[in-house]
C-alpha cells in the first residue's frame, strides 16, 4: 500500500489526488469517532500493568529483535504466520508485562540499589572485559551501540534488572528439594539397560508379489493425499551482495601485486614453537634444578618429581609475539629443539623453559594468494556500492518499474526459478540448486503473492529482491503420474504388516519357552546385543520407539518395537538393569539438583507473576496489538485480565 501511495504521488496530478483522498479519510475518522484511536490507551499503548504502559513502538522493537534472534537460531527468516504459530506475539508481550510489573512492584516496595553496586555489576560483566579480565570501555560502548542504548539508558536498565532480580530471588531462589524426588529423577534419567535382540527387515517378510491393477488403484484412491502435487511458485530473484557483485569486478594485476607487496606480512606465518615453562619460587632453586638437568635429569622427570602436570607447564605451540613475558619469549626462541634454558627471571617469577617442537616460518608466494587478494579487493570496492544499488532499485520500483526493469538498468542479472515448492524443491523432488539463502527466499515467497512488491531480504551484507511471477496450485495427481511411487509405498506397507505379524508370532514362541537363538536361526538373522542404554543417550542402533519399549519391559522379559522405518522391526530381551544410587554431592547429583531447582523456581515465579498481574491489574489492548503486528484491528476495546 505504501509503495502504491509513493507511486501515485510521483507527479503533480497524483499528489493533488492523494491530498484529497487523505483529507477525506481524516474527515471520515472524525465523523465516525475513529479519532479516539489518536489519544490515550487506544492510540499508543499495547498493554498496561498497574500504572505502567507498554507503548506500541516499544513492543514493535522488542518483537522485531525477538524475531531476528529466532531467525538466526532457525537459519531462516521467520514469517508472520510462523511467528504466530510459535506464539511469539504473546510470548514477547508476556515478558514485557512481567518486566514492567516487577519494576512497578519494586517502586512500590521502595527497593533501591546504590550507584556503586550498579557500576560494579557492569564492570564485572565478562561481556565487557578483555582477555586479561579487565573492564574494556570500548567493548562496553560497542555493546551499547549494538543494543541501541546510550549510557544513561543502559545504566538505568541495569538498575531495574538488579531490582527485578532482588524480587525474583526472594520469591523463587534457593528452594531446597527433597532427595527422594531427586533420586526418582536420577533413576529415570540414568538407569541403564542391556538387551539381546534380533532385527527383522524386508528379507524376513518373504516374497511379496506385485499388486494387481485393481489392488493398486484401490490403495491409491484411499491415500491420494499422500501423492498430491504440492503448490509450486515461479520466483524471480535479483541478488546484490558483495560476494555476487565482486564476481563482475575486474581487478588489474598491478593492483593485486601492489597489495601483496604492501601487506606481505599478512601472508607470512611466523615461526611457532611448542613451549613449556617450569616456575620456581626462587632463583637459587631454579639454578639448582638447572644444574641437575645439566647432569642428565630430564625436564619431564623434574616436573614429575615436583608434582607438576602437563597443564601446569604447557604454553602451547605459539609464535614469539603471543608469549606475554618478553624474557621468557626471548629464552624460548633462542633454544634449539629439545634444549632446556638456564633459569630466566621473568615478569611473573623465575622459570626454566624448554622447546619440544619448532615449526619454521612459512611464507606464501604471490601465486598462492593472488586469487584471494583479487577477491578481497573486489569485495572492498563493491561494498561501497551495495547501498547505492539498493536505493536505485527501490526508487525505480517506487516509480513504477518492475523488478526486472530496475535490475536491467543496473545491469544486474535476474534469475528465475520456474517451480519451487515450500520445501525448496523442484518438481523432480530435488533441492533447487544455486538459490542463495534458499530457506529465507522460499519462506518469504510463499508468504507473498503474485503482483506484490516485496521488500528485499538482507543477506551477507547486501540484498536479495524477489518477485512471485506465478503460482501453480496444489493438485491431486492421477495414478499414472505416480505409479512407481505408489507401488513402492504399497510394498513398504505390505512388508510392515508382515513384520509386525512375524514379531508378534516370535514373541508368542519366546513366551512359551523358545529362545532368541532359535528364533534368529529360523529367520536367517543373528542375535545382537546393546549395553548401557539410557533414556537420554541411546545407541545409534536403537530407535526412539525401541527405547520406550525397552524401558517398559521387565528384566528377563521379552518385547518388540518398530524400528526407525516401518520396514524394520525388533524383538528383544532385557538382559540387565542397572539403577544408579543418588549421591547428592557428586557432580551428576549437583547438576540434577541445579536443573530441577531451576525448573521449580521457574514454576513458582510463573505463579507469582500470575498473582502480581492480577494484583496490579493488567489489560491488553488487542486492537493496538494487532496494529503493532501489522494486522487489521478488530476493535479498540482493551481486554482486562
User: pLDDT tens-digit profile of 265-311?
Assistant: 888 888 999 999 999 999 999 999 999 999 999 999 998 888 888 88
- A 10 A CB-CB count for 427 gives 13
Contacts of 391 (CB under 8 A, 6+ apart): none
* Structure confidence at residue 216 (pLDDT): 93
- In CATH, what number does 271-360 get? 3.10.50.40
* Structure confidence at residue 12 (pLDDT): 35
* Structure confidence at residue 131 (pLDDT): 67
How is residue 170 written as a grid cell? 526472594
Q: Do 407 and 413 meet the contact criterion of CB atoms below 8 Å apart?
A: yes
* Structure confidence at residue 639 (pLDDT): 52
* Structure confidence at residue 147 (pLDDT): 65
Q: Do 287 and 337 meet the contact criterion of CB atoms below 8 Å apart?
A: no
b/e for 49-83, b at 16 or more Cβ within 10 A?
Answer: bbebbbebebbbebbeebbeebbeeeebbbbeebb
Partner residues linked to 331 by β-bridges:
none
Closest residue by Cα to residue 628 from 157, 45, 124 = 45
DSSP code string of 301-320: HHHHHTT--HHHHEEEEEEG
Contacts of 358 (CB under 8 A, 6+ apart): 271, 272, 273, 274, 337
Partner residues linked to 530 by β-bridges:
195
For the chain, the C-alpha Rg in angstroms (whole number) is: 35
How is residue 617 written as a grid cell? 491489574
* Structure confidence at residue 631 (pLDDT): 64
The CA angle 174-179-182, to the nearest 5 degrees, is 85
> Listing from the earlier edge strand, what are the strands of the sheet with 272-280?
314-319, 272-280, 349-359, 344-346
Contacts of 401 (CB under 8 A, 6+ apart): 409
The upper half-sphere exposure of residue 219, i.e. CA atoms within 13 Å in the direction of its Cβ, equals 19
CATH 1.20.120 assigned to domain 192-225+482-578? The reply is no
Place of cell 541403564: 192
Q: Do 37 and 608 meet the contact criterion of CB atoms below 8 Å apart?
A: no
Contacts 24+ apart (CB under 8 A), 55-64: 56/624, 56/627, 56/628, 58/96, 59/92, 59/93, 59/96, 59/625, 59/628, 60/628, 61/148, 62/92, 62/95, 62/96, 63/88, 63/89, 63/92, 63/628, 63/629
Q: Do 227 and 477 meet the contact criterion of CB atoms below 8 Å apart?
A: yes
* DSSP code of residue 209: P
Q: Do 327 and 334 meet the contact criterion of CB atoms below 8 Å apart?
A: no
The upper half-sphere exposure of residue 476, i.e. CA atoms within 13 Å in the direction of its Cβ, equals 8
Tell me the whole-structure pTM to 2 decimals. Answer: 0.52
What are the C-alpha distances in Å from 294 to residues 302, 338, 521, 522?
Answer: 12, 13, 70, 73
* Structure confidence at residue 148 (pLDDT): 63
Low-confidence residues in the chain, pLDDT < 70:
1-43, 131-132, 145-149, 631-641
Q: Do 182 and 593 meet the contact criterion of CB atoms below 8 Å apart?
A: yes
Q: Do 414 and 234 meet the contact criterion of CB atoms below 8 Å apart?
A: no
* Structure confidence at residue 491 (pLDDT): 94
* Structure confidence at residue 566 (pLDDT): 83
* Structure confidence at residue 19 (pLDDT): 43
Closest residue by Cα to residue 432 from 442, 443, 446, 444 = 442
Q: Do 450 and 469 meet the contact criterion of CB atoms below 8 Å apart?
A: yes
* Mean per-residue pLDDT over the chain, rounded: 84
- 3-state SS, 328-365, equals HHHHHCCCCCCCECCCEEECCEEEEEEEEEEECCEECC
Q: Do 199 and 527 meet the contact criterion of CB atoms below 8 Å apart?
A: no
Amino acid at each position: 500500500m505504501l509503495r502504491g501511495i509513493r507511486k501515485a504521488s510521483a507527479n503533480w496530478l497524483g499528489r493533488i489526488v492523494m491530498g484529497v483522498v487523505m483529507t477525506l479519510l481524516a474527515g471520515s475518522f472524525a465523523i465516525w469517532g475513529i479519532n479516539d484511536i489518536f489519544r490515550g490507551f487506544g492510540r499508543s499503548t499495547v498493554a498496561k500493568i498497574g500504572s505502567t504502559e507498554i507503548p506500541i513502538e516499544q513492543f514493535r522493537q522488542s518483537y522485531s529483535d525477538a524475531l531476528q534472534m529466532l531467525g538466526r537460531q532457525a537459519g531462516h527468516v521467520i514469517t508472520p504466520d510462523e511467528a504466530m504459530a510459535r506464539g511469539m506475539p504473546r510470548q514477547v508481550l508476556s515478558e514485557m508485562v512481567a518486566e514492567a510489573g516487577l519494576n512497578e512492584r519494586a517502586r512500590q516496595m521502595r527497593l533501591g540499589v546504590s550507584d556503586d553496586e550498579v557500576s560494579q555489576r557492569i564492570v564485572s560483566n565478562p561481556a565487557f572485559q578483555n582477555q586479561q579480565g579487565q573492564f574494556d570501555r570500548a567493548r562496553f560502548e560497542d555493546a551499547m551501540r549494538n543494543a541501541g542504548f546510550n549510557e544513561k539508558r543502559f545504566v538505568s536498565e541495569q538498575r531495574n534488572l538488579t531490582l527485578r532480580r532482588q524480587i525474583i530471588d526472594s520469591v523463587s531462589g534457593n528452594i531446597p528439594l527433597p532427595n527422594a524426588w531427586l533420586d526418582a529423577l536420577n533413576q529415570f534419567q540414568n538407569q541403564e539397560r542391556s538387551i539381546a535382540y534380533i532385527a527383522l527387515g524386508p528379507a524376513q517378510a518373504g516374497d511379496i508379489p506385485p499388486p494387481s491393477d485393481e489392488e493398486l488403484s484401490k490403495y491409491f484412491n484411499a491415500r491420494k493425499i499422500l501423492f498430491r502435487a504440492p503448490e509450486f511458485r515461479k520466483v524471480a530473484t535479483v541478488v546484490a551482495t558483495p560476494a555476487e557483485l565482486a564476481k563482475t569486478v575486474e581487478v588489474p594485476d598491478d593492483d593485486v601485486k601492489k597489495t601483496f607487496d604492501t601487506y606481505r606480512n599478512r601472508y607470512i606465518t611466523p615461526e611457532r614453537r611448542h613451549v613449556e615453562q617450569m616456575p620456581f619460587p626462587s632463583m637459587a632453586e631454579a639454578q639448582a634444578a638447572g644444574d641437575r638437568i645439566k647432569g642428565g635429569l630430564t625436564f619431564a622427570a623434574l616436573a614429575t618429581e615436583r608434582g607438576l602436570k602437563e597443564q601446569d607447564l604447557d604454553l602451547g605451540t605459539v609464535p614469539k609475539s603471543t608469549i606475554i613475558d618478553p624474557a621468557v619469549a626471548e629464552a624460548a626462541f633462542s633454544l634449539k629443539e629439545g634444549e632446556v634454558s638456564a633459569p630466566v627471571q621473568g615478569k611473573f617469577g623465575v622459570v626454566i623453559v624448554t622447546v619440544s617442537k619448532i615449526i619454521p616460518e612459512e611464507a606464501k608466494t604471490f601465486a598462492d594468494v593472488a586469487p584471494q587478494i583479487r577477491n578481497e579487493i573486489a569485495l572492498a570496492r563493491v561494498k561501497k556500492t551495495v547501498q547505492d544499488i539498493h536505493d536505485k532499485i527501490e526508487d525505480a520500483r517506487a516509480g513504477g518499474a518492475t523488478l526486472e526493469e530496475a535490475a536491467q538498468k543496473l545491469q544486474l542479472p535476474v534469475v528465475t526459478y520456474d517451480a519451487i515448492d515450500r520445501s525448496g524443491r523442484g518438481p523432480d523432488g530435488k533441492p533447487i540448486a544455486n538459490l542463495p539463502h534458499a530457506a529465507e527466499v522460499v519462506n518469504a515467497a510463499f508468504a507473498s503473492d503474485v503482483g506484490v512488491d516485496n521488500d528485499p531480504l538482507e543477506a551477507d551484507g547486501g540484498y536479495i529482491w524477489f518477485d512471485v511471477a506465478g503460482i501453480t496450485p496444489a493438485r491431486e495427481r492421477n495414478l499414472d503420474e505416480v505409479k512407481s511411487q505408489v507401488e513402492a509405498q504399497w510394498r513398504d506397507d505390505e512388508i510392515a504388516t508382515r513384520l509386525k505379524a512375524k514379531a508378534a508370532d516370535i514373541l508368542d514362541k519366546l513366551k512359551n519357552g523358545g529362545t532368541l537363538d532359535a528364533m534368529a536361526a529360523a529367520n536367517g538373522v543373528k542375535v545382537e546385543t546393546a549395553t548401557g542404554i539410557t533414556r537420554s543417550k541411546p545407541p545409534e542402533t536403537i530407535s526412539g520407539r525401541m527405547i520406550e519399549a525397552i524401558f517398559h519391559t521387565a528384566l528377563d522379559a521379552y518385547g518388540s518395537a518398530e524400528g526407525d522405518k516401518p520396514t524394520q522391526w525388533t524383538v528383544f530381551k532385557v538382559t540387565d538393569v542397572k539403577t544408579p544410587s543418588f549421591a547428592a554431592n557428586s557432580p551428576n547429583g549437583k547438576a540434577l539438583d541445579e536443573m530441577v531447582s531451576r525448573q521449580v523456581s521457574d514454576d513458582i515465579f510463573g505463579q507469582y507473576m500470575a498473582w502480581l498481574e492480577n494484583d496490579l491489574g493488567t489489560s491488553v489492548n488487542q486492537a493496538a496489538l494487532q496494529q503493532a503486528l501489522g494486522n487489521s484491528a478488530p476493535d479498540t476495546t482493551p481486554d482486562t485480565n
